[in-house]
């Protein structure tokens, strides 16, 4: 077994490299993904090794990137599109929801769109406007799209390859503030390993309350669980990993044991993923709940200026406060 310690960003780079090696139909497209290697260097070195016909620097036109990828998908390729920042995806939104998501259904199954749309998302890096957004609910609401997000280097490495191998269009959300966090990566992990692409995972076992999170908030919730343990309270943390479809089986099992549930995400609370998750947990676990399902989210405002973003983002204290409130009912 070849296990290395990699940053999440390097794990993505390694996963993309392996996908390019294994399938000549895989192509990477996006602004500055070639010679520069992407603004976060996720595609660093790939154009040098695979050529500019497979790692393609595109014009600054997100709708053009996605539209071209649709055509490539129909012709048998597996394009991987990089959207440079989350807030830049909206010019391509029409293509994604009107073409990418619906082509398979509209053609009665005759046409597949095996493409991946990589989007660095979330805040916490001190960026300027339009660089720290969390647009996941837009895509998870759209029938025909699969939406996933990684939270650690091992998942980044495996999940990006699984997404590329999928015959369905996948929106692959990358927590940009976690790009530099390191962890062990099994480079020989099979893509059909214990956890398929659309499966959630218990990342910390506990008995007193269940905390559900995804992407950048998984690390925050793990830190909160460590802090809670010092006070004798054991939190079970579940990384949802897949936002559409949701795999809430492990969450239901956990909540039936703990009787309490807190859902955490960066995006604004109004009509966010937390609303759907809380509703489903309440429906399935009503007679096991000792208190209402609570949400810890970003505020219902546009993402603020970098100097005050720490006031906006859910943090350890806000998570622990919600857990405390579940015990106060």
Positions marked active-site:
131
**Chain mean position to CA 50:** 27
Q: Give the closest residue to 216 by CA, choosing from 291, 293, 155.
A: 155
Q: Give the closest residue to 168 by CA, choosing from 115, 245, 205.
A: 115
Largest CA distance in the chain: 61
Lookup result for tokens 């998750």: 277
Q: Is the dihedral of CA 296, 128, 38, 8 positive or negative?
A: negative
Cβ(245)–Cβ(199) below 8 Å = no
Cβ(238)–Cβ(201) below 8 Å = yes
Compute the distance between CA of residue 120 and CA of residue 75 in angstroms, rounded to an integer.
27
Instruction: Give me the residues paired with residue 218 across strands.
Output: none
Name the helix (H) or strand (E) containing 174.
Answer: strand 170-175
Cβ(237)–Cβ(203) below 8 Å = yes
Say which residues have a Cβ less than 8 Å from residue 231's Cβ, sequence separation at least 6: none
Beta strands in 200-326 (DSSP E): 201-204, 209-213, 235-239, 242-244, 261-268, 294-298
Cβ(324)–Cβ(232) below 8 Å = no
Q: Is the dihedral of CA 135, 163, 197, 21 positive or negative?
A: negative
Compute the distance between CA of residue 111 and CA of residue 84 in angstroms, rounded to an integer.
28
């Amino acid at each position: 077994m070849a296990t290395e310690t990699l940053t999440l960003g390097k794990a993505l780079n390694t996963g993309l490299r392996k996908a390019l090696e294994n399938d000549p139909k895989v192509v990477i497209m996006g602004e500055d993904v070639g010679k520069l290697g992407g603004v976060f260097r996720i595609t660093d070195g790939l154009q040098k090794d695979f050529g500019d016909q497979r790692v393609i620097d595109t014009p600054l036109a997100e709708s053009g990137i996605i539209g071209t990828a649709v055509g490539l998908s129909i012709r048998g390729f597996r394009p991987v599109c990089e959207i440079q920042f989350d807030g830049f995806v909206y010019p391509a939104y029409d293509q994604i929801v009107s073409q990418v998501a619906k082509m398979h259904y509209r053609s009665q199954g005759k046409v597949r769109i095996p493409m991946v749309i990589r989007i660095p998302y979330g805040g916490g890096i001190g960026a300027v406007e339009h660089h720290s957004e969390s647009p996941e609910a837009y895509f998870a609401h759209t029938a025909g799209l699969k939406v996933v997000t990684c939270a650690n280097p091992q998942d980044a490495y495996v999940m990006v390859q699984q997404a590329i191998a999928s015959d369905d269009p996948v929106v692959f959300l990358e927590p940009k503030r976690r790009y530099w966090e390191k962890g062990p990566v099994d480079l020989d992990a099979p893509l059909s390993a214990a956890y398929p692409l659309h499966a959630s995972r218990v990342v910390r076992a506990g008995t007193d309350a269940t905390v559900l999170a995804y992407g950048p908030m998984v690390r925050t919730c793990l830190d909160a669980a460590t802090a809670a343990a010092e006070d004798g309270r054991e939190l079970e943390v579940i990384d949802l990993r897949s936002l559409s479809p949701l795999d809430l089986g492990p969450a239901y099992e956990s909540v039936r044991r703990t009787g309490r549930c807190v859902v955490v995400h960066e995006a604004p609370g109004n009509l966010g993923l937390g609303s759907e998750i809380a509703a489903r947990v309440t429906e399935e676990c009503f007679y096991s709940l000792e208190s209402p399902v609570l949400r810890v989210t970003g505020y219902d405002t546009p993402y603020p200026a970098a100097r005050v973003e720490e006031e906006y983002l859910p943090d350890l204290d806000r998570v622990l406060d919600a857990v405390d409130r579940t015990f106060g009912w």
